[in-house]
Structure 1
């Protein structure tokens, strides 16, 4: 049996400082995990004194990508069978819904919709950001496009936005996102 590949695409939000948690959990479920970071998340992993880019590379067994390769370069990662976008910031949400692909992370998830890949997105933003009119429109647009966007609202499981500067990163529901993925 061939192992299926999951692209974990992480934006710069506090849960991105704990990516070993979902990587290990996805690997335990049978996924070959490849990590793609937004440019800001990559900066956190490489420049912050608490960054752990080497650990992430070693844990996945793959390079950690954050920018487009040159056209002449071969693909460094196997093709994905599914995408998990977590944590998803409001910035990336709104760009993604608008079809903007100015970073590798956005390019992959924008293209993923057109390719019909299973895509699960688990947001992380505060309730003030969530009240911006663009957020609701973008959530609706992506859900209509087939993205499983796990934004909890009392009736639906998923991330429930917190008050500004009052989030609990330990409560980020990685397991809900992993449960929403197809079985490898």
Structure 2
């Protein structure tokens, strides 16, 4: 009788472990933009100080997919809505380093993936002319039609990704929001880059 009770307990524990392990969504893809360099990567490089946890994991700005209709809340786009990365949403009075770009030119956007994953697409958004540079990034500050979309159709990208596209017509300081949407999870990765046209 004792052996049967132990066996039943073992089965119950095994079933519980299986339920827990299969109910937690796992995202195997992680990555960050290197061109134009993102806030997360600037923190990891030590170029920007007082960044908190993102300095050790620039590849982890992962939030709900579906941007712009869904995804992280306004004001938390750069951190992907993750409180441990909230420093990325702080505009710091314009002190983030900005990559110099030429409006209308062809530019190659680059990602480094620490773990590639089946991908829906990569999309690139830019702020509107006259956006509020002192406020955390919101949808109303962005052109919500991406200026570059790279569809992947569920394919797994290389670890170093390059996307050539035409830069939008802008002048002055702006932000580019790059969104990497994962095909087989509920998540996407969000990277904010400060740029100057």
> What TM-score does the superposition give when structure 2 sets the normalisation length?
0.25
Larger strand proportion, structure 1 or 2?
Answer: 2
Q: Which has the higher contact order (CA 8 A, sep 6+)?
A: 2
Larger helix proportion, structure 1 or 2?
Answer: 1
> What TM-score does the superposition give when structure 1 sets the normalisation length?
0.26
